[in-house]
A and B are shown apart, each in its own frame.
Chain A
Amino acid sequence: MYKLILCWRYLRTRWIALASVVSVTLGVATMIVVNSVMAGFSHEMQSRIHGVLSDLVFESHSLGGFPDARWHMEEILRTSGDDVLGMTATVAVPAMLNFQVRGQWVTRQVMFIGIDKKTHAQVGDFGRYLQHSLNREQLSFDLREGGYDTHDSQSDDPTPKRPAMEDAGWPHRRKRVERERIWREKLEAVDAAEHPTDKPIDTVFSATNNSANAEIEPLVPPVFENGDATDNALPSNETPATNDPFLVARPQEGRTMDPSQEQFVGIVPGIGLASYRDVSGVDRFLILPGDDVKVTFPTAGTPPKAVSDTFTIVDFYESKMSEYDSNFVFVPIESLQRMRGMIEPQTGIASVNAIQIKLKPGVNPEQVRDRLRRIFPAELYSVSTWRDKQGPLLAAVDMEMAVLNILLFMIIAVAGFGILAIFYMIVVEKTRDIGILKSLGASASGVAGIFLGYGLALGLVGAGAGLAIGLAITWNINSIRVGVEWLTGQRVFDPSIYYFFKIPTIVNPFTVSWIIFGAVVIAVGSSVLPAIRAARLHPVEALRHD
């Protein structure tokens, strides 16, 4: 009983020991905050990766793909049907995306992915990342009559930061067509005045500096509101009559397409391909839903040939992962199969080069992967989990977390040395008291127990305070961030870099328990040597100590 009383009394009266408590507190709080933030980041990243990729990807090594997706799906169901929740076929090829901005052709390297709009939502969170609410419910490759989000739907901030999306869709398309029609008419009028013999126009932006026509206003390209200038006007070496993208003949229907009423095959590019954020935090768009783009991609033949076609943007895809948002472009799988020549003419069976598989909750993806690998030969097919696909990235994050934890634990270990030094000092200070206790019949182990108990008490108090502070910081980290940014005037957390609008945190009770346990063990361990010294003191010598 005396051990408890003396531990408690020393805890209350020995303020110097609180110095070691503070170091334990800071170490525990830091570890909790860092682990929670890292867990939040890791979880967000994994869920975004997992949202883009399905649980398993079954794919061919060849760009030409494999025929009869249905047969392959039946085989997959035959071996693992109990574990499969949904499947969808895809065709993915590298491609070049081309579009015009202010008369300049912009070319981007992309991954061109054909998806089945009916089944693709079964295997991932694709729908969640689209910018039109109706498309989020059910994807359509038809252009919408407005209604696109003017703010980031995945952010809590409803303030519109995408004003250009207000008219996206058919309104934008029709407006653009009308502007170009007006501009074309002006151009033709100038051309007719200057060249009555009906020569083709050879410049896109031509100001009339002819002194004979000085009163005619110089022509300027159409400029849209908010500076989003998209100009699908003709390239310099093309004539309007034959290369007007909006007057392309439709051989199937034998008539000229009216772009204000009709669209090309719909396409959904990643938002990173089409936009940028300015310094004021507003997203600016190079192209919008309703604009037309060209995509160049290889056919499925041997050797593959490059083909190009025009598509109409119907929505944007935003997963917050720059790797996907700046690379992926989605198109109806049937269109891509047709354009690439992946449909067998005699049978009509189309080839695909990947099957995405969604597993039921609780199913181990590695087990299903291994089972499928045994069925389908590795020379022809590749079966990977989503973790396998992103293995290096996830492994790097795990390594970072492990190294951080080791480094942070060393903070607590340093605190342990502080406890050791302070306890040693207290034992020296309490030498006579130890002699008194021994003269009253206290055993050596009992005296040691006082200091071990004191170390345990310090560890518990320090870890408890660290837990409270760590949780308080973690749960209010975004408010703290705002405060720090206001105080310092510096941006602490840039959403445009991390694609998060808030710092994500996840408090894992298991991790927190380990941190506290470790801190207490270090505190108790640090008090062992001083406790042994106290136990070994000779009572007579101790009583004589000043």
Chain B
Amino acid sequence: MKLITAIIKPFKLQEVREALIAAGIDGLTLTEVKGYGRQKGHTELYRGAEYTVDTLPKIKLEILIEDDKLKVVTETITSSAGTGKIGDGKIFITSVDDVIRIRTGETGGDAI
């Protein structure tokens, strides 16, 4: 099993979700996060003075999948979240030992 953690631009969320649903992914966890990378932050103004806000809002998606879906999911996110500009985000892939569905106690692939 793999845990996909994707950081994307907030305005792309709707497209990414629709693409993932079309690709057969049934669930994900979503967090509003802030951070910076090559895109850096943005400037704001206060009474004529400019100051830098060095973090940008992003959306973090967490998706747990079977190994065989890895390629489909990463390609789906890459194509639906991409604008071609700096700041499109990243995808992290982590191996997961096990997963348990709390309600039933199912484990492994059955619990995804």
Whether both chains belong to one complex is answered with no
- Write the residues of chain A forming the contact surface with B, with a CB cutoff of 8 angstroms: none
